[in-house]
A and B are shown apart, each in its own frame.
Chain A
Amino acid sequence: EVQLVQSGGEVKKPGESLKISCKGSGYSFTSYWLGWVRQMPGKGLEWMGIIYPGDSDTTYSPSFQGQVTISADKSISTAYLQWSSLKASDTAMYYCVRRDGVFDIWGQGTMVTVSS
């Protein structure tokens, strides 16, 4: 079964760093782009960026460029989304998604809560 399994929810304070993960299984991890989508509470879907694990080629949405870092470790079929200094406005659900021409497989989501 093709699936993306994300790391668990996080509660952090403003200014802290964070790295969340997304592990792919059931398919060739290095052959498909893998993206990240943000959903703030009660709001819509926002595409953040995408990585090709085969060579780590990465593209960011202009809205998120410089705000987050997307990376991947193909040896363990895992992609990452990280922040160096969280803000309260980073509170959201984050989904990883596989792109096979379209976002066909979604992870279960990781809720990140940033509060003092």
Chain B
Amino acid sequence: DIQMTQSPSSLSASVGDRVTITCRASQGISNYLAWYQQKPGKVPKLLIFAVSALQSGVPSRFSGSGSGTDFTLTISSLQPEDVATYYCQKHNSAPFTFGPGTKVDIK
């Protein structure tokens, strides 16, 4: 099965900073990569699918890129409400494996 890894596991940044999270698949998954945001104590929420397609209602400061095995989630200007754990996931076929998550907080 394809394994998903993320780096870093956590990061601390200042409000307004550009934040980048990396996700790597152990085999190519074409463009079937999604990102989810889970705020503390809340239900996960879909942010981005198909590498770069923004889910309806998601702020434009979030963006995704990549292809094949290497992908990134970028927050162009970190806001206090972006404090959360971010998970990548392969969504083309089962098993729909998640990455281990990246915890983002404010410095």
A interface with B by C-beta (< 8 Å): 35, 37, 44-47, 50, 59, 61-62, 95, 99, 101-104, 106-109
Contacts and interface: CB of A to CB of B under 8 A. Distances in A.
A49 B43 CA distance: 18
Interface of B: 1, 34, 36, 38, 43-46, 49-50, 55, 85, 87, 89, 91, 94-101
A35 B89 CA distance: 14
Given A44-B98, A44-B101, A103-B36, A108 B43 contact: yes
Nearest to A61: B95
Nearest to A46: B98
Interface of A is mostly: strand
A103 B87 contact: no
A35 B43 contact: no
Closest 9 CB pairs of A and B: A102-B49, A45-B98, A47-B96, A102-B91, A44-B101, A59-B94, A102-B34, A106-B43, A61-B95
A28 B44 CA distance: 23
